[in-house]
Chains A and B, each alone.
Chain A
Amino acid sequence: MQPAQLNLARYSVQLGSETDFAGWRDAARRLALNEVRPEDISWQVELGRALHDNRLPAIPSGARLDVPRAFIDHAETAFCHSDPTRFAFLYRLLWRLRTEPKLLAIASDADTRRLETMVKAIRRDIHKMRAFVRFRKIGGGNEERYVAWFEPDHFIVERNAAFFVKRFTGMRWTILTPHASADWDGERLAIGRGAAQGQAPAEDDTEALWLTYFASIFNPARLKVKAMQKEMPKKYWRNLPEASLIPELISGADKATKDMIARMPTTPAPHYAKVQARHWPKREPARVVEDEARTVFELRELAKGCSRCPLWREATQTVFGEGPGNARVVFVGEQPGDQEDLAGKPFVGPAGKVFDAILDDAGVDRQKVYVTNAVKHFKFEPRGKRRIHSKPNAGEVQACRWWIDREFELIKPDLAVALGATAALSLLGNAIPVTTLRGQVVEREDGLRVFITIHPSFILRIQEPAAKEAERERFLDDLKQVKKLVTV
Chain B
Amino acid sequence: MSAVPVREKLAILSDAAKYDASCASSGSAKRDSLKSGGIGSTEGMGICHSYAPDGRCISLLKILLTNFCIYDCSYCINRSSSNVRRARFSIDEVVKLTMDFYRRNYIEGLFLSSGVIRSPDETMGEMVEVARRLRLEEKFSGYIHLKTIPESSAELVEKAGLYADRLSINVELPTDEGVKRLAPEKKPETIRLSMAKLRQKMEEKAEPTMRTKKRERFAPGGQSTQMIIGADKTSDDGILHTSARLYGSYHLRRVYYSAFSPIPDSSSSLPLQKPPLMREHRLYQADWLMRFYGFSQPEILAGSSDGMLDLAIDPKLAWALRNRGQFPVDINRANREALLRVPGLGTKVIAKILETRRHRRLRLEDVGRLCQSIAKLRPFIIAEGWSPGGLTDKAGLRDTIVRSCEQLSLF
Contacts and interface: CB of A to CB of B under 8 A. Distances in A.
Interface of A: 102, 105-108, 113, 127, 130-137, 146, 148, 163, 165-171, 204, 206-210, 212-228, 231-232, 240, 242, 246, 249-250, 253, 257, 259-261, 263, 265-266, 268-269, 271-272, 275-276, 278-280, 283, 304-305, 313-314, 316-317, 341-344, 380, 382-387
A167 B53 contact: no
Nearest to A279: B70
A210 to B, nearest CB: 5
B248 A250 contact: no
B47 interface: yes
Contacts of B6: 209
A136 B104 contact: yes
Contacts of B14: 212-213, 216-217
Interface in B361-407: 362-363, 366, 369-370
Nearest to B142: A167
Contacts of A228: 51-55
Given A107-B370, A127-B47, A134-B104, A269 B248 contact: no
Nearest to A268: B81
B229 to A, nearest CB: 13
A146 B359 CA distance: 51
Contacts of B196: 316-317, 341-343
Contact of A169 (B33, B262, B356, B366): B33
B112 interface: no
Contacts of A222: 54-56, 259, 261, 275, 277
Contact of A166 (B32, B53, B139, B273): B32
Given A106-B356, A216-B18, 17 more contacts: A134-B106, A136-B104, A146-B103, A170-B36, A170-B38, A204-B104, A207-B104, A209-B100, A212-B11, A218-B54, A219-B52, A222-B56, A249-B53, A276-B80, A382-B244, A384-B290, A387-B248
B97 A242 contact: no
Contacts of A206: 100-101, 104
B392 to A, nearest CB: 24
Interface string B30-52: 00111011111100000111111
Given A166-B41, A222-B261, A231-B57, A208 B7 contact: yes
A223 B277 CA distance: 10
A168 B262 contact: no
20 contacts: A107-B355, A113-B369, A146-B103, A169-B36, A170-B33, A209-B6, A209-B7, A209-B10, A210-B106, A216-B12, A222-B56, A225-B53, A231-B48, A240-B50, A263-B265, A263-B266, A272-B81, A316-B249, A382-B248, A383-B296
Contacts of B356: 105-108
Contacts of B362: 108
B267 interface: yes
Contacts of A386: 248
Contact of A269 (B83, B261, B359): B83
A214 B55 contact: no
B266 A265 contact: yes
Nearest to A280: B185
Contact of A135 (B10, B104, B265, B352): B104
Interface in B48-107: 48-58, 61-62, 70, 72, 80-83, 97, 100-101, 103-106
